[in-house]
Amino acid sequence: MLEAVGDETIQFASRYSTAVSCLAALAGDDGYRELARLHGAKLAAVVRDALDAVQAVYDTATKDVRNWPEQRRRALAQIAAMREALDRSGMGEDVRGMARALVAIIEPRPARR
């Protein structure tokens, strides 16, 4: 039983990591072009799948991550806004900018001294 739980955790983490990488690539010009080349007309569906994976993590409740409630609230709000933008206008520049903002929430950069 423990092995199965470990496998599920690895799959969950792998899906999340792949999703964050996809969203980070989407935010940049070169990454966006590569994703568009790889997925073509299915890119919006790929982005929705990435949002599903990130949302699955942020739907969990944990007290083990510093500032989790605030980060969780911001991430889920950004995911909802991205879904609305995708539904409204497809894969436009606004969605790419929102991906940039979501990645900044998920992977905050430490302040420079």
Task: Quickly list DSSP for 36-104.
Answer: HHHHGGGHHHHHHHHHHHHHHHHTS--SSSTTHHHHHHHHHHHHHHHHHHHHHHSS-HHHHHHHHHHHH
pLDDT digits (tens, 9 = 90+) for 64-92: 777 888 899 999 999 999 999 999 999 98
pLDDT digits (tens, 9 = 90+) for 19-68: 999 999 999 999 999 999 999 999 999 999 999 999 999 988 777 777 88
The dihedral over CA atoms of 83, 93, 21, 54, expressed in degrees to the nearest 10, equals -10
Integer Cα distance of 95 and 8 in angstroms: 30
Three-state DSSP at 107 gives coil
Instruction: Note the pTM of the prediction, 2 decimals.
Output: 0.86
Write out the E strands in 5-110: none
Place of tokens 């969950």: 12
DSSP state of 60: S
Q: Is the pLDDT of residue 1 over 50?
A: no
Integer Cα distance of 48 and 45 in angstroms: 5
Q: Is the pLDDT of residue 110 over 70?
A: no
Mean pLDDT score across all residues of the chain: 88
